[in-house]
Amino acid sequence: MPVTPRIDSGAATHIGRRSNNEDSFCQRPELGFFAVADGLGGHEGGEVASQLVLRTVTDFLASREDATAPLEAETPEQTLLHAVRLAHEEVRGQQRGKLSMMASTLTGVLLLEDEAVVCNIGDSRTFLVRDGAVRRLTRDHTVIAEMEAAGLDTKTPFALRHRNSLTGAVGMEDSVEPDCGRVPLSSGDVLLLCSDGLYELVPPEMMVELLAQGGSSQDIAERLVARAYDRGGTDNITGIVLRLLDNG
């Protein structure tokens, strides 16, 4: 296994003011893989979908002797895309009865020596916090995001009616096309992976404020989730905090 950055990680989730928690998260430091998934589909479908997606992806990575080394000339990006497509097939294969409409977002990072592969589909997000500035690393797969990218008016009745509608998710369509790319990392960087229940209520400046209060990554994750809940928290709320430590 190649050298991965030394990290301090923590994660927290809260049901919010919902009857069940359809968010799931995974922390697999031995694989260098961390992810958040936000399920949808009603009944128990969302919960099943988010858990199934994370289990399928991590099982695939764990089945590899080295999750970051090429497989049949694959890059780490291609390996992660392969894992997400397997998860898509698993979700599609179980869409029947009460689970017929289930799907899930996914935002995940695969840590390499001095960079990370970031993979995303849906509207969960990954942020990089560096030197007090927050940079969003992912784009949403939503009607509103696509309208904004096309320069269309997002204040129309149609846009307002579909403001939370996804255009992509694991299990949603016949195929899945997540975004996947690399970002360079250095010691002191913080990665935040979260569901919309967190970032919609905790803006970037508040993320920086809560990070600056110190403590472990687990402390920070719990603080972020608690702040989102205190600010309304009607949705499920989930966040993973990864702090890159000095390898020296």
CATH code of the region 7-139+179-244: 3.60.40.10
User: Which amino acid is it at 114?
Assistant: D
pLDDT one-digit tens code per residue, 90-136: 999 999 999 999 999 999 999 998 999 999 999 999 999 999 999 99
- Measured over the CA atoms of residue 207, residue 169, residue 176 and residue 29, the dihedral's sign is positive
Q: What percent of the chain has pLDDT over 70?
A: 94
Write down the pTM of the prediction. 0.93
Closest CA to 208 of 137, 135, 134, 138: 134
The label of the residue with tokens 């009857």 reads 19
Q: How far apart are the first and last CA of the chain?
A: 19
Per-domain residue ranges for the chain?
7-139+179-244
DSSP secondary structure code for residue 152 in this structure: -
pLDDT one-digit tens code per residue, 202-236: 999 999 999 999 999 999 999 999 999 999 999 99
Q: What is the pLDDT of residue 2?
A: 44
Q: What is the pLDDT of residue 220?
A: 98
